Structure 1
Amino acid sequence: MAENAAEVIVGGLVLAAAAGFVLFAAQATGYAKRTGGTYPLVASFRSVEGISVGTDVKLAGVKVGTITALDLNPKTYFADATIDVKKNIALPDDSAILISQEGLLGGNFVEIVPGGSPDNLKPGDRIEDTQGSVSLISLLMKFVSGQGGTPKPDAAGATGTPSP
């Protein structure tokens, strides 16, 4: 009988751990929060490199939403990102949105820069002012190859007078 009691206790602990894992997974993926409380916005980016569905959307460093869909616009060949923003966040209709990086080795996130308009974005509206991701590799390649930064002086020198 003592063996049966131990098996029941261990079984209960396993079930409790499984339930805890399911709750954690639902919270971590945002599944529990998708049942209302947000409104969708759309933004077109030249490049969405580094972000995917589920990427955080932040305002002043605080998470206010997530990316829920990424689609290619066949007319403009830009990437349309659908963003779910918390309902209690009213964004001016001249707000900007950009893809930022959390430091040199950190991941990417989407940042909203609020505008100053008295009118707010409504569900389904499009954010017009966007800036896509900047590839760190391409910036480093420009720097190494000498294509970035200040222009080099010409053969005549910086003053424009011929050199002797």
Structure 2
Amino acid sequence: MSTESNKRSIVVGIFVLVGIAIFVAGVFVLGGQQKRFTKSIKLMAVFKDVGGLKVGNNVWFSGVKIGTVKRISFYGNAQVEVDMSIEQSSQQYIRKDADATISSDGLIGNKIVVITGGTTKHPEVEDGDRIKTSAALSSDQIMATLQENNNNLLKVTNDFKELVGNLRRGKGTVGAVLTDSLVAENFKKAMRNLERASDNTVKVTGSVSQFAAKLNTKGTLANELVTDTTVFRRLSRSAAQLEKAAGSANQTVGTLSQTSTNLNRASEKLNNTNSPLGVLLTDQETATNLRTTLRNLSQGTVLLNQDLKAAQSNFLLRGFFKKQAKEAAKKKADSTAVVQP
């Protein structure tokens, strides 16, 4: 009997030791989750609505759990003050201009407090500081927004359904294009013309690019015309000279035209049988008479010269002619004497 009692005592003792070990481990685990055994500081925040936040909920900073909610109490006029226990090791990262909001651990998880950064221009928080807060969207607001989005989506779906129905019935330009073969063919032709115009535009663009490249090539006439001011001035002077030459040519052409007009008039007068020159040039009988008259005058001149010579030999006129000869000789001698030094 004593042996069986000892065995039972040993088994009971073992179970008791295991239970104590499990209890101690549970205490350490729960204490570790609740940050019971780490140094911490107290931070406070005042919210208008905590949305179901409870004591013991977690506090997160940049996605890392840094503390828990210790107390929730009313503050001022319909506000709620939340006391948070924050690990002292994370104090250096939280600045006095940090911001706290109420969020959820997942889509439908427990409420948590999320602390966002702050700037290095401000010092780190101290034990007992109250940080500023910002309101977050509640689940009711999210559901209201989703409901409004659903209503808008329903309206859009109905409008799209009506639009598709109109297209199928051939209403509107697009419906006519889809249902009327003639309109569709015209639309295809227009698209082909547009494609050809696009190809021509590409070719023109390529030509313009080539021309621009030639303009940018140094040493070419086009580049000198665009960039060299000396060549431009020379061309300007040449253009001015060409303009003057063109004016002179116009004047010359005008003079030639007037001369041609005068010649035409003279030709008309010469061809006119009523004028003396016209008669001389066109009338054969008059020309014959004129030639006969000229021959007679020539013969009369010869006879007159002979008569004059005969008169010089006449004794009645011989003295007169001698006197004339002496005076002529005297004048010639006087002029010779004046010329000689």
TM-score interval w.r.t. the shorter chain?
A: 0.7 to 0.9
Partner Cα distance (1:88, 1:68) in 2: 18
Kindly indicate which of the two structures has a greater share of residues assigned to strand. Answer: 1
The one of 46, 57, 70 aligned to 1:44: 46
The one of 92, 100, 106 aligned to 1:97: 100
SS at match of 1:88: helix
Q: 1:109-132 deviations in whole A, cap 9, x for unaligned?
A: 11110100331111111001x134
Partner Cα distance (1:114, 1:84) in 2: 17
- The aligned residue for residue 157 of structure 1 is none
SS at match of 1:123: coil
Tell which structure's C-alpha radius of gyration is larger.
2
The one of 3, 7, 10 aligned to 1:8: 10
Deviation at 1:139, TM superposition (A): 2.6
Change (3 A) 1:6 1:32: farther
Unaligned runs of 5+ in 1: 151-164
8 Å CA contact 2:43–2:129 kept in 1: the answer is yes
Kindly indicate which of the two structures has a greater share of residues assigned to helix. Answer: 2
Partner Cα distance (1:131, 1:36) in 2: 29
Deviation at 1:40, TM superposition (A): 0.4
Change (3 A) 1:79 1:32: closer
Within 5 A, what are the aligned runs for 1:137-148? 137-144=140-147, 146=148
Change (3 A) 1:110 1:49: same
Change (3 A) 1:142 1:102: same
1:124 and 2:128 equivalent?
Answer: yes
1:88 and 2:92 equivalent?
Answer: no
SS at match of 1:106: coil
TM-score (norm 2): 0.38
Change (3 A) 1:32 1:101: closer
Change (3 A) 1:71 1:25: same
Moved more, 107-116 or 29-38: 29-38
- The aligned residue for residue 79 of structure 1 is 80
8 Å CA contact 1:42–1:127 kept in 2: the answer is yes
Partner Cα distance (1:114, 1:148) in 2: 35
Letter in 1 for 2:129: D
Moved more, 77-86 or 115-124: 115-124
8 Å CA contact 2:66–2:87 kept in 1: the answer is yes
- Percent pairwise identity: 27
Partner Cα distance (1:106, 1:32) in 2: 18
Change (3 A) 1:43 1:138: same
Change (3 A) 1:6 1:133: farther
Change (3 A) 1:85 1:142: same
Q: 1:26-63 deviations in whole A, cap 9, x for unaligned?
A: 53255984366101011001111232111111112211
Change (3 A) 1:107 1:14: same
TM-score (norm 1): 0.74
8 Å CA contact 1:40–1:84 kept in 2: the answer is yes
8 Å CA contact 2:39–2:88 kept in 1: the answer is yes
8 Å CA contact 2:31–2:37 kept in 1: the answer is no
Change (3 A) 1:10 1:94: same
Count of aligned pairs: 147
